[in-house]
Amino acid sequence: MNLKAFSLCQTFFIFLILCFTSCISESSSPRNNVEGRLKPFRVLVVIGDQWDDPASYIVGKINVGTTETDSSINGKESDFYDIAILLKSWGIPFDIIRLDQQFLDRYMFLDVNEKPVYGSIIWAVNQTDGLLPQDYSIVSQMTEQYGIGLIVLSDHIPQAEILGTLGLKYTGIREGDTVLRLKGTHFITESLFSPFRADTGTLISMEVQRVRASDIDMVRQHVAISDDVITIVEQGSFPQVTLREYPSGGHAVWIGNDKNYIFYFQDMRNLLRRAITWTIGYNIYKTWENDLIMIMDDPGMADNAWLESWHFPTLPEDTIIQYLINPLLEHNAVLNINFTPGFVNDAKGRLEPTWTQVFTDGFGTKQDYVSSKRGYQKGVDLGVFTVMSHGLTHMQPDLFSEPRWYGSPLDGEKAVNGWYQEFRDNRRNKEIPAAEQLWRMKTGMKWLKEQFGVTPLEVVAGGNGVSTTYFNNTIKLAGQAGFGWYGWSGGYLGNDLAISGWKFFGTPDSPLIVGSPPNNHDYGIALEPDKFASIFDQYPHGRFISINEFIGYMHARNSGKWDAGQKRLSITLDYDPHYCQFFEEHGSAWNLEFSDWLLETTGAVSSVVIDGKKAGKPEGEIRIPEGSGTHRIEIHFRTN
């Protein structure tokens, strides 16, 4: 072979190597390799100093004084508060980093092997002097190089690094009421309505109406965008939701609007959830269309025998069956009841179990708690009553000291309402110590388990008497006692955190909580029992659920990852046997959602396998068999 021929062959060989190398590089790049783009199913919420609890437990309103005379701080109902509520209601797992107490570190986002531990970051760091010095380039690196999604909210964009990752330039703010409209079509805005409208017909719509009545214009940020940034929502000609993609697989989203009212729009809440799907690649979440939690208070308490203004006979077994159980069975509905397992026996001057009491009270009325127990137990056994806790006695602990309750006349101390509030001594205007409250909560939980055979997961303080200073905080102690929800609308409780207060009732994001007719208590049933069934005419299309179902979804420990060896997406649902006890005898249903770019990369879903059995639908609502513990979902794709 001559030199020229050899040179041509060498050139051709090098060309083939380059082509082959290019093909390998292209096929294995994160943009075309699903393994390089799919991230774990978990969200990291990064905030500034919006969390008032220095111990990072209670989200929302909290008094932080250590004594009753100390000053208190009301929690900020900011976008952070809303985010925590939404993620819990949807059952999307998340952690929180607070930059007033923590330094950003790359291993907050990566594991020891330099692999992402989160699929998306929600950035809600407020502008404040209360932050520790930070290296914000770490966040940019996580999205631009490691492919972790980034969702930035409202005006939380002062850092140059965050703006750079979003591809934005901040140009100022403007107040106004110009509506938000969709621009073009995109996965995130699919099925959203344009223009966006504030909620109506829900509890939070009252706050929206207050804002309008006060002529408060919403503040919106103005930005200029880079050439590779897409705008999908506008206010007039100004971008309000923007998107940017990186070769690493990282997706960056900025959601504008006023941070104080951003989630008062149903479409904005839906947009956030869709943005989580788009940044991670997939999502499994719960929504609550037409779901209601109906509650009734007070069965078992002693107030009705002693308190003149709240005097009535306990409900007999036949009344409970005819007017409560039968209508509930007919409508496949559940009534959630706050029971009081302990009874204050004035004659003996001591606490006793409630359901052994049969006597004629000082007003001449027969009180037959034994008959009541038979009726309530039937409802529990039939699955139409959910047992919840109203504390231990519905009465404050110190009935001995002056002014003494024990032995007092019916028209004397017994007629003072302050005695009948268990977790604050409103008769003497002081708090109940933490240890006493905790004992009463745990004992009430234990007694109800022994009396009805089930463990209550919700507790509400009788008469709304609560202690609010930090160490005696009733909500904090309820979480410590093992409850999963506080009060009627008091909020989520768990080992991870407590959320004081709640929002979005009666929307797809949270069930509507309603009282049982005619007055939300067994007192009303004693007076007008036939009024109870009217609730089903008020909500003819409603599904009346157990509060334990709501608690179960919020406490589900879900996770997901790409299984490279099997080339499948694996999602694990972990139902804690305590908090998720509802699922022990009931199946569950979740919404399974895939982003457009994931399906473009992998091809369509070929099958979904749940606990080893093929499911009927590859996307949308999927049903999980009954049983606590671990369930596994395997999603197989027709790989492109």
For residue range 378-392, list pLDDT tens digits in order. Answer: 999 999 999 999 999
The span from the CA of 50 to the CA of 36, in Å, is: 34
Is residue 200 predicted with pLDDT exceeding 70? yes
Nearest to 261 by CA among 214, 193, 192: 214
Mean pLDDT to the nearest integer, 568-580? 96
pLDDT at 70: 34
pLDDT at 10: 52
Tell me how far the alpha carbon of residue 109 is from its chain's centroid.
23
Is residue 76 predicted with pLDDT exceeding 90? no
Is residue 268 predicted with pLDDT exceeding 90? yes
pLDDT at 23: 41
For residues 41 and 571, the answer to whether their CB atoms sit within 8 Å is: yes
The CA-based dihedral angle spanning residues 621, 622, 626, 628, taken in that order and rounded to the nearest 10 degrees = -100
For the record, the structure tokens of 177 come out as: 């009421």
Is residue 14 predicted with pLDDT exceeding 50? no
Question: Can you give the pTM of this predicted structure?
Answer: 0.92
pLDDT at 562: 87
For the record, the structure tokens of 374 come out as: 């038979």
pLDDT at 464: 87
Is residue 433 predicted with pLDDT exceeding 80? yes
Report the mean per-residue pLDDT for the chain: 89
Is residue 576 predicted with pLDDT exceeding 80? yes
The span from the CA of 52 to the CA of 75, in Å, is: 6
Is residue 17 predicted with pLDDT exceeding 60? no
For the record, the structure tokens of 165 come out as: 């990752």
Which of 102-106, 546-550, 612-616, 629-633 comes out lowest in average pLDDT? 612-616
Greater pLDDT, 524 or 200: 524
- CATH for 34-285 is 3.40.50.880
Which of 17-31, 180-194, 199-213 comes out lowest in average pLDDT? 17-31
For the record, the structure tokens of 229 come out as: 């940034």
pLDDT at 202: 55
Nearest to 82 by CA among 474, 509, 482: 509
Mean pLDDT to the nearest integer, 554-567? 88
Is residue 65 predicted with pLDDT exceeding 80? no
| Share of residues in the chain with pLDDT > 70 (%) | 89
* DSSP class of 163: H
For residues 458 and 488, the answer to whether their CB atoms sit within 8 Å is: no
Q: How many CB atoms lie within 10 A of CB 362?
A: 15
Mean pLDDT to the nearest integer, 589-616? 91
Greater pLDDT, 117 or 20: 117
The span from the CA of 499 to the CA of 595, in Å, is: 30
Tell me how far the alpha carbon of residue 506 is from its chain's centroid.
14
pLDDT at 331: 98
Nearest to 516 by CA among 621, 425, 384, 405: 384
Which of the four pLDDT bands, split at 50, 70 and 90, describes residue 565? confident
H or E stretch including 359? strand 358-360
- DSSP H helices, 498-587, are 522-527, 535-538, 547-555
For the record, the structure tokens of 153 come out as: 């909210």
Is residue 310 predicted with pLDDT exceeding 90? yes
pLDDT at 8: 46
Q: What are phi and psi of 583, to 5 degrees?
A: -80, -5
Name residue, tokens 């409850």: 483
Is residue 580 predicted with pLDDT exceeding 90? yes
The span from the CA of 373 to the CA of 489, in Å, is: 27
Mean pLDDT to the nearest integer, 58-77? 52
pLDDT at 92: 98
The span from the CA of 372 to the CA of 511, in Å, is: 29
Mean pLDDT to the nearest integer, 157-172? 94
Put residue 621 in one of left, alpha, beta given phi > 0 → left and psi -120 to 50 → alpha: beta
pLDDT at 13: 45
pLDDT at 312: 96
For residue range 474-513, list pLDDT tens digits in order. Answer: 999 999 999 999 999 999 999 999 999 999 999 999 999 9
Mean pLDDT to the nearest integer, 405-410? 96
Is residue 537 predicted with pLDDT exceeding 50? yes
605-610 and 613-614 beta bridge pairing: antiparallel
- DSSP H helices, 77-148, are 79-90, 137-144
Tell me how far the alpha carbon of residue 588 is from its chain's centroid.
17
H or E stretch including 598? helix 596-602
pLDDT at 35: 64
Is residue 519 predicted with pLDDT exceeding 60? yes
| Share of residues in the chain with pLDDT > 90 (%) | 79
**Where are the chain's structural domains?**
34-285, 291-551, 556-637
The span from the CA of 462 to the CA of 356, in Å, is: 21
Task: For domain 291-551, say whether CATH 3.20.20.370 is its number.
Answer: yes
